[in-house]
Amino acid sequence: MKKAIPGLLLERRAVVRQLLKDPDDDLLVIAGLGSSCWDITAAGDRPLNMPLWGGMGAPVAMGLGLALAQPGKRVLVITGDGDMLMSLGSLATVAAQQPENLAIVVLDNEKYGETGNQATHTSPRDNGPTASGAGADLGAIAKACGIADSATVREPGAVAQLVGDARTAQGPIFRVVKVMVEKLELVMPPQDGALLKDRFRRALLGPAG
Ligand SMILES: Cc1ncc(C[n+]2csc(CCOP(=O)(O)OP(=O)(O)O)c2C)c(N)n1
């Protein structure tokens, strides 16, 4: 089921599939809570995916730590606008550290999708009587924090460039991807946090991990 909202054109699963199109590569992927976890799993579960399940506000800080610890690997954080709004301070910390190997992609549906589509602060003020948005511009916030390569992607024609940037442009890079409001099948990764952590460490560090 899709809900048409002007300006929200992109399908999140299609974008994430493009971002993760090579399941065998060694991209280190961290997904923020809820929907982003189901998105990366729908693209193909893999040991180097770290879905945070219900851990709100954590993925950017975690991605930063990973990027600093593993400068030879590319780290991609994929999360939602609600999650990003909760942890805006981590953008300033990313800017302070300037990790060249970190990309952050925020799938911005202007809603807390997972909990019933309440409007987040990225929702425009004029979105109707149930909206309580503030029109917050996450791309501008990231730029103002000091992440110079920060932009918003709205058009299908810009997705190929997004994928290239997320995977290879010199970081830190920050992209807001405006996505439509959709009710999608839940595609769940393993539920056990210790298992997720251990398989990630082993895939990254070998048996010693
Ligand atoms: C600290 C905390 N507060 C609230 C929740 C409940 N919660 C689960 S998913 C979610 C909404 C996430 O919204 P967003 O990041 O925009 O993702 P979307 O599902 O819209 O892609 C919330 C509030 C939580 N998991 N943790």
- Which amino acid residue places its CA nearest to atom 3 of ligand 1? 56
What's the pLDDT score for residue 2?
A: 63
- Which amino acid residue places its CA nearest to atom 4 of ligand 1? 56
- Which amino acid residue places its CA nearest to atom 11 of ligand 1? 112
What's the pLDDT score for residue 55?
A: 95
What's the pLDDT score for residue 8?
A: 81
What's the pLDDT score for residue 130?
A: 55
What's the pLDDT score for residue 176?
A: 98
Residues of the chain short of pLDDT 50, as ranges, are: none
Tell me, in angstroms, the distance from the centre of ligand 1 to residue 125's CA: 21
CATH of the domain at 80: 3.40.50.970
User: Burial, 2: exposed, middle or buried (Cβ in 10 Å; 0-12, 13-18, 19+)?
Assistant: exposed
In order, the DSSP letters of the chain are -EE--TT--B-HHHHHHHHT--TTS--EEEE-STHHHHHHHHT---TTEEE-TT-TT-HHHHHHHHHHH-TTS-EEEEEEHHHHHHTTHHHHHHHHH--TTEEEEEEE-SEEGGGT-EE-TTS-TTS-TT-------HHHHHHHHT-SEEEEE-SGGGHHHHHHHHHHS-S-EEEEEEB-EE--------S-HHHHHHHHHHHHH-TT-
Residue among 2, 10, 33 whose CB has most ligand 1 atoms within 8 A, to mutate: 33
Tell me, in angstroms, the distance from the centre of ligand 1 to residue 94's CA: 22
Tell me, in angstroms, the distance from the centre of ligand 1 to residue 14's CA: 21
Query: Ligand 1: which atom is nearest the Cα of residue 34?
Result: 9
Give the pLDDT confidence of 127-179 residue by residue, as tens digits.
Answer: 555 556 789 999 999 999 999 999 999 999 999 999 999 999 999 999 999 99
**Domain membership of residue 116 as a residue range:** 2-205
> Average pLDDT of the chain?
94
What's the pLDDT score for residue 106?
A: 98
**Which protein residues touch ligand 1 with a CB less than 6 Å away?**
32-35, 54, 56, 80-83, 107, 109, 111-115, 120
Could you give the number of structural domains in the chain?
1
Query: Ligand 1: which atom is nearest the Cα of residue 85?
Result: 15
What's the pLDDT score for residue 7?
A: 76
